[in-house]
């Protein structure tokens, strides 16, 4: 039998422990599929004394992940620490410098340093694999890099964060507020104690930047992603969306336009009949449009110990079987630099919710502002009326430029009859 592929695992949190459990449980299956055993030889984590529910006695322990990456008896370093810098980056760089393959689930690391790390892997003649960094168990990296390699991808968008999708789904199903559902998600373990990366769109932006590089053969450009979260979405917005024939999702969208590469993360209203509208709960989905394959969508569990460990081990199996492809589909020297398309030049329809006091002339004032910004209304909804309290007024627009819409919203917010800054949600149509 061929010699074992030796693994050193940095980080023993949920995913690290899940990876150890999967490797142990599927040992025979993996040996059969790889033609050689997979053996963990070393581990590293911050706390040596913590009970993680798995037996670590057979592995060499390192307190420092970077030292392990450089010195352990291992062919592959599995980086599951997380974070764009610090020990995760140090361990990855040390592993590549030592000529070891790297498997990581770290989307922040790849989104911010992926191009440089890919170049280091090429120089060392080793693999940098990161299937687990985007959409958990969904094999979207392989699909984009290999399965769709005969296509030119024109556009991709997806639900890339299960926490946000759970919150929006539960708000729609129960009518409860954002804050209430977020607290429940934290209790259930679907949201972190500090959920900012998830609900403010940063996690989705990391993943979108990686997918955009794969889709368009460009250097990873996280700084070029426009990012908005879901904190401002109310139960009322979700009800109005349904009435208008839409469902609200936090989407990451990337496409090459005449203005350059547009990468945007924000809540969006998608038609109820669109496949991605039916992706609910903690599930993720990625939809791509390409010239020969047409529209494809992959859906599945996007986070958690099992799904993420599954993706990590899939990368390890590729290395064991000596299946290699460039990190981003082509050598780093052939990755292009595509200019970022300014968000203010985005064109599309919009949903706008106003909270207004029912005073004479308020509709005329709003209509005048929209006219002055060359915005045409498509529909208006107002049901509640009150002489003393602000009431919601919802309008949708025909396609208009982002800069015009935001200029109009700024002006509307200054009206005396408007109680708070209007809520704006972009509408995505096929």
CB 289 within 8 A of CB 295: yes
DSSP state of 340: B
Considering 87, 89, 207, 219, which one is annotated as catalytic?
207
Q: Which sign does the torsion angle of CA 137, 138, 139, 144 carry? A: negative
**What Å distances lie between residue 197 and 55, 229, 330, CA to CA?**
32, 9, 30
Q: Rounded distance, CA 46 to CA 81, Å?
A: 10
CA nearest neighbour of 202 among 182, 230, 183, 232 = 230
Residue 140 CA, chain-centre distance (Å), reads 12
CA distances from 208 to 18, 107, 357, 373, 398 (A): 25, 10, 40, 31, 27
State how far Cα 266 lies from the chain centre: 11
3-state secondary structure of 234: coil
Separation between Cα atoms, residue 193 and residue 191, nearest integer Å: 7
CA distances from 108 to 92, 93, 156, 192 (A): 13, 15, 20, 16
Tell me whether residue 89 is one of the annotated catalytic residues: no
Closest CA to 167 of 159, 178, 157, 175: 178
Phi-psi region of 53 (alpha: psi -120 to 50; beta: other; left: phi over 0): left
d(CA 136, CA 384): 43
* Cα–Cα dist 240/393, whole Å: 10
- Residues involved in catalysis: 207
């Amino acid at each position: 039998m061929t010699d074992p592929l030796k693994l050193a695992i940095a980080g023993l949190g949920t995913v690290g422990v899940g990876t150890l459990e999967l490797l142990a449980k599927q040992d025979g299956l993996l040996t059969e599929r790889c033609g050689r055993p997979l053996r963990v030889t070393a581990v590293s984590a911050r706390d040596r004394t913590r009970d993680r529910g798995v037996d670590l006695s057979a592995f060499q322990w390192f307190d420092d992940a970077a030292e392990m990456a450089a010195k352990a008896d291992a062919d592959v370093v599995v980086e599951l620490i997380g974070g764009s810098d610090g020990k995760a980056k140090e361990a990855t760089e040390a592993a590549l410098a030592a000529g070891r393959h790297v498997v990581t689930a770290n989307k922040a690391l790849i989104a911010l340093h992926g191009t440089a790390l890919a170049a280091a892997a090429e120089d060392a003649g080793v693999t940098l694999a990161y299937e687990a960094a985007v959409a958990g168990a969904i094999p979207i990296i392989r699909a984009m890099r290999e399965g769709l390699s005969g296509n030119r991808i024109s556009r991709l968008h997806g639900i890339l964060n299960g926490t946000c999708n759970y919150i929006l789904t539960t708000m729609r199903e129960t009518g409860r507020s954002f804050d209430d559902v977020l607290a429940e998600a934290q209790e259930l373990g679907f949201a972190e104690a500090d959920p900012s990366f998830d609900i403010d769109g940063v996690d989705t932006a990391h993943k979108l930047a990686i997918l955009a590089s794969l889709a368009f053969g460009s250097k990873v450009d996280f700084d070029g992603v426009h990012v908005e979260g879901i904190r401002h979405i109310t139960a009322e917005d979700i009800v109005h969306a349904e009435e208008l024939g839409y469902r609200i999702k936090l989407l990451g969208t990337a496409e090459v336009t005449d203005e350059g590469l547009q990468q945007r993360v924000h809540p969006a209203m998608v038609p109820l009949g669109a496949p991605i509208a039916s992706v609910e709960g903690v599930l993720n989905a990625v939809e791509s449009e390409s010239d020969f394959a047409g529209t494809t969508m992959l859906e599945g569990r996007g986070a958690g110990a099992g799904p993420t460990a599954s993706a990590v081990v899939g990368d390890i199996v590729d290395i064991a079987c000596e299946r290699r492809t460039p990190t981003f589909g082509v050598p780093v020297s052939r990755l292009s630099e595509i200019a970022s398309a300014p968000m203010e030049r985005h064109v599309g329809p919009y949903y706008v919710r106003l909270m207004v006091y029912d005073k004479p002339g308020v509709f005329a004032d709003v209509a005048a502002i929209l006219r002055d910004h060359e915005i045409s209304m498509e529909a208006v909804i107002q049901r509640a009326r009150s002489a003393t309290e602000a009431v919601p007024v919802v309008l949708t627009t025909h396609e208009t430029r982002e800069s015009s819409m935001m200029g109009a919203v700024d002006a509307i917010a200054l009206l005396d009859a408007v109680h708070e800054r209007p809520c704006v949600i972009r509408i995505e149509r096929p």
